[in-house]
Amino acid sequence: MLKFLKAFPLVCALALTAAPVAAETLGLGRAALSDEIAAWDIDVRPDGLGLPEGSGDVWTGEEVFVEKCAACHGDFGEAVGRWPVLAGGQGTLERENPVKTIGSYWPYLSTVFDYVNRAMPFGEAQSLTPDEVYAITAYLLYVNDLVDEDFELSHENFLDVEMPNTANFYMDDRAETELPVFSGEVCMTDCKDSVEITMRAAVLDVTPEEDVVAEEPVAEEAVPAEEAEVVVAAIDPALIEAGEGAFRQCRACHEVGEGASNRTGPALNGVLGHTIGGVEGFRYSNTFKDAAEAGEVWEAESLAAFLADPRGTRSGTKMTFRGVRSEEEATALIAYIESLATE
Amino acid sequence: MTNIYKGMKPTRRNFLRGAAASGAALVGGATAARAEGDPAIIDKQPWSQFLGAGVDEAPYGMPSKFEAHVRRQDVPWLTADPVSSINFTPLHELDGIITPNGLCFERHHSGVAEVDPAEHRLMINGLVDRPLVFTMEDLMRFPRENHVYFLECAANSGMEWAGAQLNGCQFTHGMIHNVMYTGIPLRLILEEAGIKASGKWLLPEGADAAGMTRSIPIEKAMDDCLVAFKMNGEALRPEQGYPIRLVVPGWEGNMWVKWLRRIEVGDQPWHHREETSKYTDLLANGQARRFTWEMDAKSVITSPSPQMPITQGPGPLVISGVAWSGRGTIPRVDVTTDGGVSWQEARMSGPSLDKSMHRFYLDINWDGNPMLLQSRAHDSTGYVQPTKDQLRAIRGENSIYHNNGIQTWAVNENGEAENVEIS
C-alpha cells in the first residue's frame, strides 16, 4: 500500500507534463542494485558515456598488445592468418578487396575501447584493467598513424581523437534508392533474346568437400571385446570427459586429435614424452626454442606445472592463458590430450 | 563435387526395366528357384522379421541413421577459428517451412555459452523508472506469444558478391532458419521497468564471452520483438541462445542477441563493433550504409540444386524452393527454367506468415534438356527480388552483407546442377 501511495504523485506529475501514460505493470522482477548495474554496465558510447577513469600510453600499449593480442593480430595489427587486420588499409575502401581496419574504416574510437574491454583478449574476455584498455587503444591509434609515439590516451582527452572515416557512414537509404527501382511490374514472357553463362562456381571450386559420415553403420561387433577393454582401461573415461570440458579454454588456439594442425598454438598430438617446443612447423617463442635445443621433454609434472602457470614457469611464452584453476583440471586436460594423441 | 551420386540407389524405373528384360530372358527357360521381382519386396527385410528398439532406446529421438548426411556444415576457409565462425543450414534437404532445431545454422563470436538457467538473470537498466532484475522464474510469469519468424544472417550469400563461388544452396543461402518461437513481448518487459521519455534506443547484451551488443530503436522493440525461450516447442538450443534470446522479426540475425542478459535503454545508439566495423554495407564509392536492419525479399530453389541433383531422369519433376521477406509475406514467386526468357508463377504451399519463410513448388515435366533455373520473390509490399547485377549496379561488390540477388542453377542433361551467373 505504501508503495502505491508513493508512486501516486509521480503518476500525476507524468500526466501533467504530457509524458507517455505509465502502463500498468505486473510487479515482476526486483530492483537492480547499483553494484549489480556497475558490474554489467560497461558499455561505452561515442559521446564518452561509460568511459571509466584511467589512461595509457603508446609504449605501454605496445607491451600489453604484444603480450596479449599479437598472437592473433600480429605485433603491428597486421594479423596472423585470417584473424582481423587492425591497422593500415587507408585508401583501399573504393578498391577491390578493401582492407577495413580501425584506421581505415571504424567511425568511432569508443567502439575500439568498448570492444577490447568487453570481448578481448579472445578467450579471456574482460580481464584487462581500464589502464590497459586505454594503452591498447592508444597503441592501435599509433599503428594506424593517427597519433605520435609519445601519445597518452585518457578519459579526459578521449573525445579529442578524430577518426578519419567517420563522415563516410550514412543511414540506410534503401527506401529511397532501391525500393522504387525494385518494385513494380515484371516481365513474364520473351524477356531476353539470348542467355549465356558468364561465370561458373566450379571454376573457383571453393566448395567444401563432402566428408559425410559413412552411411554404412560400422559393425560394432567387429571390434574384439578385449581390445576395447584395453583402450578403456588405459585412461579413466570420466577424467577424459572432464578434460574435454576443460579443453574448451584451449581450443580457440589449439587443435588435438585426428587431422589437428598448428594454429595460434601448436597441434597437441603427442605431448607427454615429446620434446618441449618440438612440434614441426610451429613458430615458438625463444623460451621454447631453448628448451627444444636443450632436448627437454614434457613430463606429467612439468606439463601440469606449465598449465597451472604458463608465464610463471616458461617466462616469455606466447601462450596468453591465465592457467588452469586446479591440479585436477590439469590432470584431466592431460588425460584428454593423451586420449586423442595420434602419433 | 565428384561424388554427388555416391550412395544413390538404382532408380525404381531402371530396376523395373531391368526386371522386365531378365523376365523376358527367362521365358521358356528353367523354372526359377525363387520368385522374380524387386528384392525389396521378394526378400524378407530384417526390419520386417526381427524386433526393433524398445521405447526407451532413445529418450530424446534422433533422425534415422540413413539421414546422417543431413547436417549443418561450415566453410573452413571463411573464418580464422571455429569458435568465432558460422555454419550453414542444409536447405537442400528440407521441405515445408520449419527448420528442425538441430539443423538451424550457428553463428557464434566466442563459442557457445553454456548458461545455467538457475544462474541466469535479465537486467533492464539505463533510462528507465525502475532498473530491474528478472530470474527465469520471473520471466515465466509474463504473458507469452507464439510466432514463426525467419532469422537470416546479414552475410547470407555474402560470398557471392563478386560472382558465383559456392556449389550448393546450403553454402550460398544456408545462413537462415525458420522457427516457431514462444516468447514474451519485449514491450511488456520494458513497461515493467518504465521507459523514460528520453529513452529512444536499446542495447541488448549477451552473456557469452563476446558480450554481444547491438543498438535497436525503441519503435521496433515496442512493436514486435520477443524475448524467446522456446523454439519449435522445446527450450532454445544452447547454440541458439539458451535460455533466452532476443527475436527481432524481419531484421538481420546479428541483432537477435543470444544468451540475453541485459537490456540498457539510452537516448542514442551505441555504435558498437557489430554495427560499425561489421554489418555496415560498404559501397563502391567508399561510403557505407549503416543500420541496414530490414532483410530484403529473397528466394532460392533448394531442389534441384548442386547438392540435390535430379537422379531419376526425365519426366515429372518437383522444383522446390523457399522465399522470405523482412517486410511482410511472400504472396508470389516466379520461376524460370530458361534463364529468365520466360517465367511461370510457382505454387505457394503451406502457411503464409508475416516475416516467415514460405515454400513454393513448380511441378514440371522435365524433357532432359539443360535448364537455367531461377526464382524471383515478390513480397507483400510490392518489392520484387532483384538480379545480382541490379544490386551490383547500386552497391558495387564490396558490401559483403545483404545480398538478396536472384540465384541461378545450371542443370545439365544428367540432372547435375551448378552455381552460375548468366547474362
pLDDT in tens, B116-151: 999 999 999 999 999 999 999 999 999 999 999 999
Question: Do B324 and B183 share a domain, yes or no?
Answer: no
Number of domains within chain B:
2
Task: Kindly report the average pLDDT of chain A as a whole number.
Answer: 84
Chain A CB contacts of B132 below 8 Å: 29-32
Note whether B139 and B132 are within 8 A (CB).
Answer: no
CATH of domain A225-340: 1.10.760.10
Answer yes or no: is B71 within a domain: no
User: CA B139 to CA A179: how far, in whole Å?
Assistant: 39
Contact B376, B333 (CB under 8 A): yes
Whole-number pLDDT of residue B31: 53
Render pLDDT for B18-56 as a digit per residue (tens, 0 to 9): 444 444 444 444 555 678 999 999 999 999 999 999 999
Give A217's pLDDT tier (boundaries 50, 70, 90): very low
Greatest Cα pair distance in chain A: 84
Asked whether residue B397 falls in the same domain as residue B341, the answer is yes
Distance from the Cα of A295 to chain B's closest Cα (Å) equals 32
> In angstroms, rounded to a whole number, what is the distance separating the alpha carbons of residues A235 and A231?
7
Q: Among candidates B221, B326, B215, which has minimal Cα distance to B275?
A: B215
Q: A-B interface: how many C-beta pairs under 8 angstroms?
A: 285
**A2-6, A128-132, A149-153, A295-299: which has the minimum mean pLDDT?**
A2-6
B55 in any annotated domain: no
Interface of B with A in 99-118 (CB under 8 A): 109-111
Q: Say if residue B276 is in the same domain as residue B134.
A: yes
* Structural domain contains residue B152: yes
Strands in B207-269 per DSSP E: 216-217, 226-231, 234-235, 245-247, 260-266
Residues in chain A closer than 8 A to B293 (CB atoms): 172
| Overall average pLDDT of the A40-59 stretch | 98
Closest CA to A26 of B247, B130, B246, B197: B130
When scoring A11, A33, A109, A192 by the number of chain B Cβ atoms within 10 A, the one with the most, hence best to mutate, is: A192
The pLDDT of residue A244 is 83
* Domain boundary, last residue among B255, B289, B323: B289
Nearest CB among A105, A110, A119 relative to B211 is that of A119
Q: What is the pLDDT of residues A278-292, one digit of tens each?
A: 888 887 888 888 888
CB B160 within 8 A of CB B241: no
Compute CA distances A246 → A54, A121, A249, A261, B275, whole Å: 34, 18, 6, 20, 33
Answer yes or no: do B355 and B272 share one domain. no
Assess if residue B93 is contained within a domain: yes
What percent of chain A has a predicted confidence (pLDDT) above 70?
84
Tally Cβ neighbours within 10 Å of residue A212: 14
Does residue B242 share a domain with residue B118? yes
Chain B residue numbers touching A257 (CB-CB < 8 A): none
C-alpha cell at B47: 526390419
> How big is chain B, counted in residues?
423
A179 and chain B in contact, CB less than 8 A: yes
Is residue B365 one of the residues assigned to a domain? yes
Which among B165, B277, B422 has the least Cβ separation from residue A105? B277
CA dist., res. B101 & res. B386, Å (int): 31
pLDDT value for A334:
87
Are B310 and B260 members of one domain?
Answer: no
Which residues of chain A are within 8 Å of residue B3 when distances are taken between CB atoms? 210
The answer to whether A55-168 and A225-340 have equal CATH topology is yes
- Cα(B182)–Cα(B147) distance, rounded to whole angstroms? 7
- Whether residue B240 is contained in a domain is answered as yes
Residue B217 forms beta bridges with which residues?
B201
Of the residues B261, B289, B317, which one is the last residue of a structural domain? B289
- Are B198 and B97 in the same domain? yes
Return the number of other C-beta atoms located less than 10 Å from residue A296's C-beta: 15
> Which of A271-285, B77-91, B200-214 has the weakest average pLDDT?
A271-285
Query: B136 — contact with chain A (CB < 8 Å)?
Result: no
CA distance B264 to B254: 17
Cβ neighbours for B380, distance < 8 A, ≥ 6 positions apart: B325, B327, B328, B329, B330, B331
- Using a CB–CB cutoff of 8 Å, tell me whether B47 touches chain A: no
Q: What is residue A332's predicted lDDT score, i.e. its pLDDT?
A: 86
ipTM score: 0.90
Asked if residue B265 is part of any domain, the answer here is yes
Instruction: Suggest the residue from B72, B191, B271 to mutate for an interface test with chain A (most A CBs closer than 10 A).
Output: B271
**Could you tell me which residue, A144 or B25, shows the higher pLDDT?**
A144
- A247-256, A289-298, B347-356: segment of lowest average pLDDT: A247-256
Which residue segment(s) compose the domain that B406 sits in? 298-420
Q: What three-state secondary structure class fits B230?
A: strand
Q: Which residues of A touch B342 (CB under 8 A)?
A: 188-191
B308 and B269 in a single domain? The answer is no
Shared domain check, B276 and B236 = yes
Per DSSP, the three-state class of B158 is helix
pTM of the model: 0.80
Nearest residue to B126 via CA among B291, B258, B225, B270: B270
Do B246 and B206 touch, CB atoms closer than 8 A? no
**Domain end marker among B231, B259, B289:** B289
Which is more confident, B107 or A287?
A: B107
Please give the pLDDT value at position B336: 98
How many CB atoms neighbour CB A189 within 10 A?
8
Which domain CATH number covers B323?
2.60.40.650
Dihedral through CA A244, CA A245, CA A249, CA A252, nearest 10? Answer: 60
Closest Cα in chain A, distance from residue B234 (Å) = 24
Q: Which pLDDT does position B13 carry in this prediction?
A: 45
The C-alpha cell at A190 is 520473351
Domain chopping of chain A, boundaries: 55-168, 225-340
Distance CA B245, CA B138 (A): 16
Q: Does A46 touch chain B (CB under 8 A)?
A: yes
Residues of chain A in contact with residue B419, where contact means CB-CB under 8 angstroms, are 200-201
Q: Measured between CB atoms, does B290 come within 8 Å of chain A? A: yes
For residue B279, what is the domain's CATH number? Answer: 3.90.420.10
* B64: exposed, middle or buried (Cβ count in 10 Å: 0-12, 13-18, 19+): exposed
Same domain, B281 and B323: no
Q: What is residue A335's predicted lDDT score, i.e. its pLDDT?
A: 85
| B165 part of contact set with chain A, CB < 8 Å | yes
Q: What residue in A sits closest to B391 (Cα-Cα)? A: A178
Question: Tens of pLDDT along B298-350?
Answer: 999 999 999 999 999 999 999 999 999 999 999 999 999 999 999 999 999 99
**Of the candidates B260, B193, B263, B188, the residue with the CA atom closest to the CA atom of residue B228:** B260
CATH superfamily label, A55-168: Cytochrome c-like domain (1.10.760.10)
